[in-house]
């Protein structure tokens, strides 16, 4: 074997080694890219699920506040009509009081609901007038609107 043959053999050997290393490096690069892609996809899925949860929660809050506003609106209408509150409306307010407070995460709405309940008790006993109840209803609806706007701005982005 001549010196030229040895150099050709060395070149072929190193060429094969470089080709093998290139293949191995390509596989590692592909696997790392695949892992990074899967990680990104999982993060995007988690973020999408979190946003969907926040949207659903916001929709539930909105529905609860809508029901509460309708109930309180009927109470205000009854007060305007005759300065009395029917038993059905009183029952609906109690249902909203106990049912809505579970979904409410706003201290202001909760505080106004508790105060409304106390004011209704005082109204029955003649300690306060219907105007105070209307003011409390307005405060609850306004606090509900502000809470929906506050949580909606963060949940729907």
| SS percent in the chain: helix, strand, coil, step 5 | 90, 0, 10
Alpha-carbon gap, residue 6 to 92, rounded angstroms: 98
Please give the mean pLDDT across all residues of the chain: 87
Contacts of 125 (CB under 8 A, 6+ apart): none
State the CB neighbour count (10 A cutoff) for residue 42.
10
Per-residue model confidence as pLDDT tens digits over 97-152: 788 767 677 888 889 988 998 998 898 898 988 889 999 999 999 998 898 888 77
Tell me, rounded to whole angstroms, the distance of Cα 90 from its chain centroid. 31
Query: pTM for the full model?
Result: 0.66
Alpha helices (H) along 83-129: 87-103, 107-124
Token pair, residue 60, equals 């539930």
Spans of all domains in the chain: 3-155
**Which range among 45-59, 72-86, 128-142 shows the weakest confidence by mean pLDDT?**
72-86
């Amino acid at each position: 074997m001549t010196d030229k043959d040895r150099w050709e053999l060395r070149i072929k050997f190193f060429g094969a080694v470089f080709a093998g290393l290139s293949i191995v490096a390509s596989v590692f690069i592909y696997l790392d890219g695949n892992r990074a892609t899967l990680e990104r996809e999982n993060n995007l899925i988690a973020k999408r699920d979190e946003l969907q949860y926040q949207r659903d929660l916001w929709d539930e809050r909105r529905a609860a506040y809508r029901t509460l506003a309708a109930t309180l609106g009927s109470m205000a209408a009854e007060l305007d009509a005759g300065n009395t509150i029917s038993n059905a409306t009183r029952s609906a307010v109690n249902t909203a009081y106990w049912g809505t407070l579970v979904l409410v995460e706003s201290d202001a709405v909760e505080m106004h609901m508790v105060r409304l309940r106390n004011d209704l008790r005082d109204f029955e006993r003649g300690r306060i007038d219907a105007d105070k109840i209307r003011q409390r209803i307005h405060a609850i609806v306004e606090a509900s609107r502000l809470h929906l706007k506050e949580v909606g701005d963060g949940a729907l982005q």
